[in-house]
Structure 1
Amino acid sequence: MRTVAILLFNEIEVLDFAGPFEVFGVAGKVSGNPHFQVFTVAERGPVYARNGLCITPTYLLNDHPKADIIVIPGGGGYHTDGTPFGSRREVNNEPLLAWIRRSAETAELVLSVCTGALLLAKAGLLDSLSATTHYMAIDSLSQLAPNTTVLPTERYVDNGKIITSAGISAGIDMSLYTVGKLLGKAVADETARYMQYDYWTL
């Protein structure tokens, strides 16, 4: 059974983390053979997501099981006074970036959802790769990762170890794609069917 660590931070987009959590959490449930152990990780808790949802992370950054897969969600923007929040703020959070780099070294796969790609870019993990993100963050990704080929129209982009997705709901499609990549299309289709989710196929 693979372990999946989903990063949390304040002002995170709810579906960015909850969508992948659901996909990996229910994969294999119908057959009675769960394939993933999913947990959340944060610098500190509680975490306040967008629209006030309060979440208690399962573990903190320096105290969690080894993760075979890490998921870096997004969410965030700028206040009216220009100060960043969410992922836009976390791109300057060196302890969090150090955790991403450290975890990526030993993970089998590294996934990002939406503006989580900005965190991968700032951590230096997208250099010379292709990537996508939320359509409103394409320019930001290009600025943070000038050596990355940004593909704004792709639902998700697979570089082998690193997979990025477009905005919010695209994280569900990317996660189902990842289940198929690891376990076969039949398991991915069974998971989507259990969720009653019609997912994109590329």
Structure 2
Amino acid sequence: MSAQSTTIPVLILVFPEFNTLDVNGPLEVLRNTYLKTQPTNFSITVAAADEHTTAGEDIIIKRHISLPEALSSISSYSILIVPGASPSAILPHLKPGDPHFAALLDVCEAFSRLGPVADGTERTLLSICTGALMLGYHGLFDGLRATTHFMVFDKLRELCADYAERNPGAKGTVVVPQSGGEPVRWVDAGLNNHGVRVVSAGGVSCGMDATLFVLSERLGRATALKVAGVMEYAWRENV
């Protein structure tokens, strides 16, 4: 890396029973060996409620910072990634007054309201798999399109509709694919009202496709294709 290299800071939020590929897939893309030789690359910070967090696959990850620290430094980050987990690790806590995801969602909401970074570059909020359930419940897809794992399409619709019912004036969310629609790997919903790009991925491996899309938006399609090639991964671009 040269002295003139630039770094795009990425924040990943993990929580008990998170899916490892939802995290490791984006890590493989954004910290790919090829990118480490390029003028622009990515730095990764992992935030969590506890010092150590056990994934659904029983792998333990150590955080870099706490969720309160992530919240206080949220303007430092250009990309925020929210992984998923088994629905049973998420859905029981998506109800008023449940504190389980409160701090994590505070971080997500703060990021979603930041707008572009100082140089005008847009920020990106990326949910992977069932991570979309948390964002939908909290209204961060309101007025936008979104997707998630195919097994919880209806649950995401229900959560987004519930948010709209609880918040008069909400615009609602279109969960795709709609009935009879073509399957999607990810959805680029464009910019929210604060100028943050919102991207949601389908289940598990879709997170790699979505992250390659985010990479292509930042560094160009040729770079994303090169990274996919180094990974020996067949990037599904057709969304």
Among the aligned pairs, what percent are the same residue?
31
Which residue in 2 is equivalent to 1:180? 216
AA aligned to 2:188 is: D
Tell me the equivalent position of 1:82. Answer: none
Distance (whole Å) between structure 2 residues aligned to residue 172 and residue 126 of structure 1: 21
Cα distance between partner residues in 2 of 1:48 and 1:89: 18
Name the CA distance, whole Å, in 2 between partners of 1:135 and 1:51: 20
Match of 2:130, as an amino acid? T
Q: Distance in 2 between matches of 1:199 and 1:133?
A: 18
Q: Give the secondary structure class of the aligned counterpart of 1:36.
A: strand
State the AA in 2 paired with 1:39.
T
- My pick for the range that moved more, 56-65 or 125-134, is 56-65
Q: Which runs of 5+ in 1 are unaligned?
A: 79-84
Quick one: distance in 2 between partners of 1:89 and 1:40? 24
SS at match of 1:114: coil
User: Structure 1 residue 155 and structure 2 residue 155: aligned?
Assistant: no
Question: Is 1:60 paired with 2:70?
Answer: no
Q: Which of 198, 204, 207 pairs up with 1:171?
A: 207
* Count of residue pairs the alignment pairs up: 195
How far, CA to CA, are the matches of 2:229 and 2:93 in structure 1? 35
> Considering only aligned residues, what root-mean-square deviation do their CA atoms show, in Å?
1.7
Whole-angstrom CA distance in 2 between matches of 1:90 and 1:197: 35
Greater shift in the superposed pair: 56-65 or 117-126: 56-65
Q: Match of 1:26, SS?
A: coil
Aligned residue identity for 1:158: D
Distance 1:194 1:200, change over 3 A: same
What TM-score, normalized to structure 1? 0.90
Query: With structure 2 as the length reference, what TM-score do the two structures score?
Result: 0.77
Among candidates 74, 77, 83, match of residue 87 of structure 2: 77
Aligned with 2:39: secondary structure? coil
8 Å CA contact 2:8, 2:40 repeated in 1: no
| CA distance, structure 2, for counterparts of residue 89 and residue 18 of structure 1 | 25
C-alpha separation between the residues in 2 aligned to 1:156 and 1:177? 9
Structure-2 separation of matches of 1:42 and 1:77: 19
SS in 2 for 1:192: helix
> Which residue of 51, 55, 62 corresponds with 2:57?
51
**Which residue of structure 1 aligns with residue 146 of structure 2?**
131
